[in-house]
Amino acid sequence: MQGKKITELESRYVMQTYGRLPVVFVSGKGSYLTDVDGKRYLDFVSGIAVNALGHCHPAITAAIADQASRLVHTSNIYFTEPQVLVAEKLVQMSGLDRVFFCNSGAEANEAAIKLARKRAAAVLGEERYEIITAYKSFHGRTMATLTATGQSKYQAGFQPLLKGFRYAVFNDLPSFISQAGDKTCAIMLEPVQGEGGVHPADIEFLQGLRRFCDDNNLLLIFDEVQSGLGRTGHNFAWEHYDVKPDIMTLAKALGGGLPIGAMLAEEEVAGVFAPGDHASTFGGNPVACAAAFAFLRVLEEEAILSNVCKMSAYMQDGLLGLSQTLPDHVDSFRGLGLMLALELKLPSARAVVAECLKMGLLLNSVSDTTIRFLPPLNVSATEINEALDILKVALQGHD
């Protein structure tokens, strides 16, 4: 089907909840996607950190095909092997004790919110239900996670929001402490804010939050939906800070492209959930779990973390060179691992992203002046050079 026909059908039949770019993709391999007209694009968005090993990685594709030929779905009232294997691997990687499976990052954060409240009701009293989150955070688009998200632009038109959330300034420990009170049960934040502009936490901030939570019997919840599973050069971003959470949420990269989310928790916390307290019909689906297990094995066995660290340093050198070559266009860059952002002096990052698209490079703007980079974790130096060359031309065209 021609691309124009596909876009016409989409505009007629699909709810218009996305500001789509004018391209229709039909296939992908490694770091590249191919559109309906046969044009190739270097993908430095990776499905917003989902295709962490690029497109159609052979180990993940084989695992999906094999599992789909044997068992696609069964209710969670029964046991399945793929789900148990992924849970075991995640526990071994994280040092947390138990896993709940769902289908997305928002669902994982929803589960974390419910678990924090259930634990507070059981241990602290039912009046302890408030959770402190950060301004500029993003935790999802369900009503609870939308309320947890500290950005009013996502909340507009959906009031009244769920009660029980308070907001504090990211990387400002006194701000968080000032928001805590006799109703607080947990603090929830991203170690690296993603949709808020790729802002890593300061080590003193996270370590201070850990001490504050320990001293006040509060839970510390890390949303690692975007930053987790190798994206920053460690399995989890909190390992950079030596700050272990009580609850952690994952999604995006976990399924290698298939929808799956996970919430992990310490035994003492997880134990307050009883049968019937929370559930998901599709959570821990055998095919999604087979893909997840294949992804985790590749992450462990193929020196992916080492590549992230090397390519992060290489790309940051390139971004530094770009800022020095184009000082009137580029302000600064920041990030951790292969979760990076370029801050522009130009008025429209979206226009630069659109120009890169024309030249065969996929990037993402997260604000009027911020471009986000989320390349595959197995990206090569050659591919980084190609991306930076295209970006340079696109920036030069926007004086």
- Catalytic residue numbers read 138, 223, 252
Task: Answer yes or no: are the C-beta atoms of 219 and 132 closer than 8 Å.
Answer: no
CA dihedral 168, 173, 176, 182 (to 10 degrees): -170
**Non-local CB neighbours of 61 within 8 Å, separated by 6+ positions:** none
Rounded Cα distance between 262 and 76, Å, is 15
Rounded Cα distance between 286 and 113, Å, is 25
The helix or strand, by DSSP H or E, that contains position 27, with its residue range, turns out to be strand 25-29
Task: Answer yes or no: are the C-beta atoms of 252 and 226 closer than 8 Å.
Answer: yes
Rounded Cα distance between 363 and 44, Å, is 6
Rounded Cα distance between 232 and 226, Å, is 10
Report the candidate in 158, 129, 157 with the shortest Cα–Cα distance to residue 142: 158
Burial label, 126 (beta-carbon count in 10 A; 0-12, 13-18, 19+)? exposed
Identify whether 160 is preceded by a cis peptide bond (ω within 30 of 0).
yes
